[in-house]
Amino acid sequence: MSESPFWQTAFLFAGALFVLWQTWRGWRTGLFRSGVNFAAILVSAVFGLLAAELVAAPFGGLRYLPGFVAGLVAGSGLGIVLFLAIWLVGALTFKQTEHYAFGPLRFIWGIGGALFGLLIGLAILLGSVSLVRILGAVAETRLELEEPSALQPETRRRVTNGVATLKKSLELGSAGRLLESVDVLPPDFYELVAQFGKLTSDPEKMRRFLDYPSIQDVLQNPRVIDLFTDPDLARAWQDKKVLEIFNNQAVAAALKDPVLAEQLRKVDLSAALKFALELPATSPSSSSPLRKHR
Tell me what pLDDT residue 164 has.
83
Average pLDDT rounded to a whole number, residues 1-20: 86
Contacts of residue 98, defined as CB under 8 A and 6 or more positions apart, other chains included, come to 28
| Pick from 52-66, 126-140, 169-183, 210-224: least confident | 52-66
Task: Please tell me whether residue 100 adopts helix, strand or coil conformation.
Answer: coil
Residue 77 CA to residue 112 CA, distance in Å, equals: 30
The b/e string for 217-232 (b: 16+ C-beta within 10 A; e otherwise) is bbbebebbbbbbebee
Residue 18 CA to residue 10 CA, distance in Å, equals: 12
pLDDT tens-digit series, residues 117-172: 899 899 888 888 888 888 888 887 777 766 555 445 667 777 778 888 888 888 88
Residue 61 CA to residue 68 CA, distance in Å, equals: 7
Confidence of residue 280 (pLDDT cuts 50, 70, 90): low
Give the CA dihedral 86, 88, 91, 93, nearest 10 degrees: -70
Residue 30 CA to residue 33 CA, distance in Å, equals: 6
Contacts of residue 203, defined as CB under 8 A and 6 or more positions apart, other chains included, come to none
Tell me what pLDDT residue 159 has.
79
Amino acid at 113: G
Tell me what pLDDT residue 101 has.
61
Amino acid at 182: V
Q: How far is CA 135 from the centre of its chain?
A: 10
Q: Are 289 and 224 in contact (CB under 8 A)?
A: yes
pLDDT tens-digit series, residues 214-271: 888 888 888 888 888 878 877 877 776 666 766 777 777 777 778 877 777 777 777 8
Average pLDDT of every residue of the chain: 77
| Pick from 97-111, 244-258, 277-291: least confident | 277-291
pTM here is 0.62
The b/e string for 175-196 (b: 16+ C-beta within 10 A; e otherwise) is bbeebeeebeeeeeebebbbbb
Task: Please tell me whether residue 10 adopts helix, strand or coil conformation.
Answer: helix
Q: Are 47 and 62 in contact (CB under 8 A)?
A: no
Tell me what pLDDT residue 212 has.
85
Percent of the chain whose pLDDT exceeds 70: 80
Tell me what pLDDT residue 18 has.
93
Residue 104 CA to residue 84 CA, distance in Å, equals: 31
Cα–Cα–Cα angle for 150, 156, 158, nearest 5°?
90
Nearest to 45 by CA among 82, 90, 88: 82
Measured between alpha carbons, how far is residue 176 from residues 12, 170, 211, 226, 247 in Å? 11, 5, 39, 48, 45
| Pick from 22-36, 240-254, 274-288: least confident | 274-288
